Structure 1
């Protein structure tokens, strides 16, 4: 897909700020002539995650074609359409899609933004439409009305959560619950009435909470994801620990940061294989080489699931009589990560990986166990704007 132009970028920013989650397609000259478009990997994942369609289980041939009710936006309203989703018998059954009537509203290399509402597909030609004019026009069109309705519905939970955190922040210094890096998150979640558990879903009604001590400048955790052990040379965190770990006190551990820029002190580094769409962790030891693999599509899916909507909550930390207290100061509210940026930020060392593996004794028997708190994918603290569309910032003071 070609780079976005200024109008397309503006449209995407506005729609993102209105809580419209989109995926993008670009019709080619051949595609318009033959009435076909490739259903790209991000687009297929977009449909699958929303329960619209699973190309992975679809058979080849016209008898397996699926039809989804769709709508193509114009400046004045929506034109009824149908999306045909199919896999041809030829060319390995490469997934295809087409919208009836699209040729009247799209030219070669136009950028189409696709979103889902009530299990139907909506098509916005971001190259031709000016979303700002549509939303700010004197006459309220069906397009503007739908966008505003989706936005207002999505904002209800965010406003509810913002009110609760403002109420907490108004209390000033609050004694920490627990100690260490996890204390701030545990404290805030307890105050919000969120029970501690090991779930992977967002914390508050679909909104992920990421709280942090503001003055430390630490990298921000995006998500945790173990390698695909079926593809990897090493088949467990314990094997990685055995190979690269070191003794610290009573523990045998591997706590380190790994990036694509250069090997760390353990000789570990990351690289991206663009042909295989994989992130690979490698050792400088030639006899080991590549030992852990993540499918990039899996990491993209985890990022989108975890950070569909996130409150990044900063707090000042002060210690009084050896007891830590937090004062919550500000929130950065992000939505819909730009998945295509994830790989680039990995390559530039802005997103890195942390191993947090250790082997400990339970203190009662000689039996030991391996604990894995990661691997954690983290981003530099001042680089969120490179991964997310423009955010909304709130002061809690």
Structure 2
């Protein structure tokens, strides 16, 4: 909490003359550009306050009677900074605190409205002044540290050491939630575009259904079946730990690396053996370890199907959720949760991961099924 210098000065003891001086000296510049997560984005600019109310602050030598008249003629105005010596903000006065003081006792009104009583006597000196480039999260912490009686009072925003505007706790929280939700929405859209990517350049297609429905926001899962050529198809399902932007980043990195690898492979004459599924999985794992946070990882399965020879290679990265239905029986596949060295085979956390590749022979009519644990999560309020 600190004081910041006011932009303009006035030595007139009469409020009307002070307002005229402020208005005459005003230089209304183009509004600066602030980050979505800075206080300047969540405040009402001083110029906008003046355009609406013909006033944006009051000099400290204004009488209580003058300030009372200002509020009477401006029913929508609730908060005014007080300018003291050396053009600095020394406090603020709210409509409700002024009215409370005037009605505090039988003779309070007569005593306080005398011409020798200035607003300095009633103003609150605990003004919070935050730089316009203060992050909204930091502003929230500072504002919540105020005492209970002023915790939700408006606060003053400064820019380059000068009074720039005012804001409130509600505006800070609303902007914080709004921009965070926009980030989540953009992450979700990007993730769904990535998941929906398909390679449609081949004719011999695998019959499949791959679906991802984020229930609690972006992040979480990546799934898809990709036709590499007339002979090969690749299936992938990964369940990233956590939710939100960090998890969405992990999904994007994983999906982008996988799709880039597939796009490059489409121009090569590959068969079941030369595709080298385990080697490619190791390469993507090393990329993920280098570009994602150290505490992020994914479980999942990666499987390559030879459509003509009816063979499947399966890599299980600590997931264990893949089944084969053959006739009237169901078999669980890929329950190995450790690598050759006995380490947990989670994806994207150990750059030296050596996954174990298993080969299965398929038959006509076989059905493969895999899912994430999100299948059992509670639905959202809209039942999606």
Q: How would you bin the TM-score normalised by the shorter chain?
A: under 0.3
The structure with more helix, counted as a fraction of residues: 2
TM-score by length of 1: 0.20
For normalisation by structure 2, the TM-score amounts to 0.20
Kindly indicate whether structure 1 or structure 2 has the higher relative contact order, using CA contacts under 8 Å at least 6 residues apart: 1
Bigger Rg, structure 1 or 2: 2
